[in-house]
Chain A
Amino acid sequence: MLWQVLEGLSRDSAKRLRFVPGVVYADEGAACGQSPEDRAETVAEAKLVLQSVGFPWHIVALEEVFSLPPSVLRCSAREPVGTEGAYKAAVDSFLQQQHALGEGQQSLPCPPRPPIRAGPPTAGQTEALSTLFSSVETLTAKEELLQTLRTHLILHVARTHGYSKVMMGDSCTRLAIKLMTSLALGRGAFLAWDTGFSDERHGDVVVVRPMREHTLKEVAFYNRLFAVPSVFTPAVDTKAPEKASIHRLMEAFILRLQAQFPSTVSTVYRTSEKLVKAPRDGCAAGTPGPRCLLCMCVLDVDTADSATAFGAQTSSQLPQTQPPVAQAEAPVSCCCTRMGGARHCCRTEEDPRARVIEQLCYGCRVNMKDLPSLDPLPPYILAEAQLRSQRAEAEQIQEYLLEDREDEDARPGES
């Protein structure tokens, strides 16, 4: 993708791209359990590639999630989109700027920032990250967590450096696999955001996937023919057995099916194009509800017409033999049965875990089940969860204060 952008921005191309790019490389070695020497080597290789491209580049280590602010999880408003005239004016001013800089320059003017390379992550942070990842019980949850953290990190980098869009290099094959995996993880409501061309969940920063029409094979051929340098780094699921995680399973399955029915990947991709970013008709529509803490999609845990809410309910109604299951499911069931007084009864549980879980969408909740304790999570997540539940409680109290102004004994959360 980087090479394509490079080409698109060069003077010779027929249709020049008109944006100011930067490159982000996220170093995930700690999560994968790489040794510091291997990591340093991989980072050095990546640096070589990035330098040869010539755009401003940023290398961030995944450990930096521990120093992210909670504002990452908030959906900021987008800058107001101008009208047609404003767009043309913006392009004009951009071209003028380019011109003013002179002809012979490679680097792009605004915002002019030197390549920023944060200092190497501290040992404490690395240790915290490996504790977090080793506390996750299944590989599936590990991969999901990694993706979430990586997204947040990249978002943060984009926001601080003033980028309005993030381009991801997902190819057609990868997106088809991602689609089926999300389906199996319970994220059917958000498929359009997860695999569509543009993803505006995060408000001011838009994630786009320009490579979504190229299959992996095409990408491989392109890289070979044009001698595009690439860096190989082991991932969380390298050398894992095929049945270890849902992601691996789905990948193997789809590639196997593709060998037998060559249209599988393109069929799945075409189906993904037909998905829209809206709640299904008949669901509780209206004003968009609260958003998930981790993936920032509108919460999809309905009460009334959900088969799965019922499934969770019945299994928690009978006395539980396994406390961890009860922990995760009891809040779901009580939130499901009593919408109004839900927060009240969860509050009296005094359980920080329940507070966090109730702010997650269905898919994230299922993932959290594989995390026995929420403490190793980076502080920004826990802080934001705390903030949101406090805000929700304050809102509830506010309601009552308005109604029963004269009544001194008004207590919040009466059902």
Chain B
Amino acid sequence: MVTSWRPSHLKLRRSRPLPPRQEPAMPAPQCASCRKARAALRRPRSGQALCGTCFCAAFEAEVLHTVVAGRLLPPGAVVAVGASGGKDSTVLAHVLRELAPRLAISLHLVAVDEGIGGYRDAALAAVRRQAARWELPLTVVAYAELFGGWTMDAVARSTAGSGRSRSCCTFCGVLRRRALEEGARRVGATHVVTGHNADDMAETVLMNFLRGDAGRLARGGGLGSPGEGGALPRCRPLQLASQKEVVLYAHFRRLDYFSEECVYAPEAFRGHARELLKLLEAARPSAVLDLVHSAERLALAPAARPPPPGACSRCGALASRALCQACALLDGLNRGRPRLAIGKGRRGLDEEGSPREPQPSGPPASEPIPGF
């Protein structure tokens, strides 16, 4: 019995600018930083009133600080931006493009085509428009091409009807991670960035706790991974920005992005974590920040930590076991037993199946290859 979870946040249609707000009875306050223009928004976290330009400048300054302080992207890096056409990756690409001269990095857009009909094609069209407008090279990698003809729709059909949920999100997450890496290699990139924001990190922590995933809990919390074995270093420059600010930035810079949700998203477990996060934020606005703080400081027993990764025997990629998760999943699909590699060796039982949901805005997952 599948309980469908519907997101409760407002869904925008294609990025039409918001309707003009009614003028409030009293005059809007001055921008707190330039003190010249009228304030156009209040920052969600601190409540400061800022005008559009100052807010965008502050946002970009914060991302710059994140990158510089964490030494995430050294000068001369060739950066592959995971672009899905959604708000997070659009904002990420835009901000990095603005900061590229200062950081001395060059950008490539890498888009992943999972083969989800009616959803991904429209998103890819948005990515193509962005690439054209910003004059950035774009590479599209498709599942069908990389993984022997398996598209997400085919995977969903194959896993349908088995157990509580389809868990096609698990496949999508792992395979997309692999596809992104492959695309990055094709363009000769040295670093991979994705658009995960603070809300995503908070949801991930909640989800991992609820699912008892000690391995991922031990791994997560940092600002990305330095890249072990042959994997490229990954990072998430937007990690400290809250989702609301990302949306506000996209609005003020009039960015064109694709905001529909993946058709398989309602079945994902992440939906519960997302719903919980929304409630927590309503009760205490700093909840997202507190969760990120907690996540950074979790201390797990050494036995719970994942073993140091080796190489997959089939494709040579980073793996904690003999076969990397992508190969294991594909193996299961090809043998007609799709749940072979899902969930700690248990097959078809009700409580397993950790669907990893493609974000509604769809930045490719940058979680490390899970070591089940």
Contacts and interface: CB of A to CB of B under 8 A. Distances in A.
Interface stretch (B16-24, B77-85, B113-121, B286-294): B286-294
Interface in B270-323: 272, 276, 279-280, 282-284, 286-287, 289-304
B299 A275 contact: yes
Given A268-B212, A278-B299, A315-B46, A246 B293 contact: no
A306 B290 CA distance: 12
Contact of B293 (A140, A188, A274): A188
Given A311-B45, A318-B48, A263 B298 contact: no
Interface stretch (B62-70, B94-102, B149-157, B248-256): B62-70
B186 interface: no
B286 A257 contact: no
Contact of A189 (B33, B47, B299): B299
A201 B196 CA distance: 37
B65 A257 contact: no
Given A267-B211, A308-B289, A310-B69, A257 B272 contact: yes
B223 interface: yes
Contacts of A271: 209, 212, 214, 217
Contact of B47 (A191, A257, A321): A321
Looking at chain A, what size class is its interface with the partner chain?
35 or more
Contacts of A325: 46-47
With most chain B CB atoms within 10 A of its CB, the pick from A189, A307, A319 is A307
B292 A308 contact: yes
Contacts of B293: 186, 188, 306-308, 362
B209 to A, nearest CB: 6
15 contacts: A138-B284, A183-B206, A184-B206, A184-B294, A186-B290, A188-B293, A188-B295, A257-B210, A267-B212, A279-B297, A308-B293, A310-B66, A321-B48, A321-B49, A362-B293
B299 A279 contact: yes
Interface of B: 3, 29, 32-33, 43, 45-49, 58, 61-62, 65-66, 69, 205-206, 209-212, 214, 217, 223, 239-240, 272, 276, 279-280, 282-284, 286-287, 289-304, 351
B216 to A, nearest CB: 11
A260 B2 CA distance: 10
A6 interface: no
Interface string A155-193: 000000000000000000000000110111111110110
Given A184-B290, A262-B351, A310-B66, A243 B283 contact: yes
Q: Which 8 A-B pairs have the closest CB atoms?
A: A188-B294, A186-B290, A189-B297, A267-B212, A315-B46, A274-B304, A308-B293, A188-B297
A180 B202 CA distance: 12
A318 B32 contact: yes
A143 to B, nearest CB: 12
B299 A243 contact: no
Most chain A CB neighbours (cut-off 10 Å) among B32, B69, B284: B284
Name the residue among B32, B290, B304 with the largest chain A CB count within 10 angstroms: B290
Contacts of B351: 261-263
A322 B296 contact: no
Given A186-B289, A189-B294, A307-B223, 10 more contacts: A243-B282, A246-B284, A250-B276, A253-B279, A271-B214, A274-B214, A274-B303, A308-B290, A310-B66, A322-B47
A283 interface: yes
A300 B286 CA distance: 17
B238 to A, nearest CB: 12
A245 interface: yes
Chain B interface SS verdict (over half) = helix
Contacts of A307: 223, 239-240, 292-293, 296
B48 A267 contact: no
Contacts of A246: 280, 283-284, 287
B294 A179 contact: no
A125 interface: no
Interface in A258-287: 260-264, 267-268, 270-271, 274-280, 283
A366 B290 contact: yes
Given A189-B294, A315-B48, A264 B210 contact: yes
Contacts of A280: 296-299
A314 B65 contact: yes
Contacts of A263: 351
Contacts of B298: 188-189, 191, 275, 280
Contacts of A314: 58, 61-62, 65
Contact of A320 (B48, B282, B297, B300): B48
Interface in A115-149: 138, 140
A275 B218 CA distance: 10
A244 B209 contact: no
A134 to B, nearest CB: 19
A249 interface: yes
A241 B243 CA distance: 27
Contacts of A319: 32-33
A268 B210 CA distance: 6
